[in-house]
Amino acid sequence: MLRGYVPAGFKHAYTVPVPELKDSRVKSMSYDDLKGIAISPIISKVSEHCILDRFKRYFLSFDA
């Protein structure tokens, strides 16, 4: 944080499609039945939690 630099690896994530079926009887799927889950490197997740813990009073979040 002191250097103002984010490592290149922190910007990358793998997106994995996960089925989100609303009715288990449906046999065919479309792209509307999938949701993407981002898989990030563990070091970026640890850094994210450290930043959020330290600066959470400056962030606002609202449930929609």
pLDDT in tens, 20-64: 877 666 667 777 888 888 888 888 888 888 888 898 888 887 776
**Residue 2 within any structural domain of the chain:** no
Q: What is the pLDDT of residue 32?
A: 80
Q: What is the pLDDT of residue 20?
A: 80
Element (H, E) at 1: none
Q: What is the pLDDT of residue 26?
A: 63
Q: How many domains does the chain have?
A: 1
Neighbours of 10 (CB within 10 A): 15
Q: What is the pLDDT of residue 7?
A: 77
**Residue 46 within any structural domain of the chain:** yes
- pTM for the model: 0.45
**Residue 3 within any structural domain of the chain:** no
Report the alpha-carbon distance of residue 19 to residue 31 in Å, rounded: 9
Q: What is the pLDDT of residue 23?
A: 67
Rg of the chain over Cα atoms, rounded to whole angstroms, equals: 17
In DSSP terms, 14 is beta-bridged to 39
Range of the domain at 49: 8-58
**Residue 23 within any structural domain of the chain:** yes
**Residue 12 within any structural domain of the chain:** yes
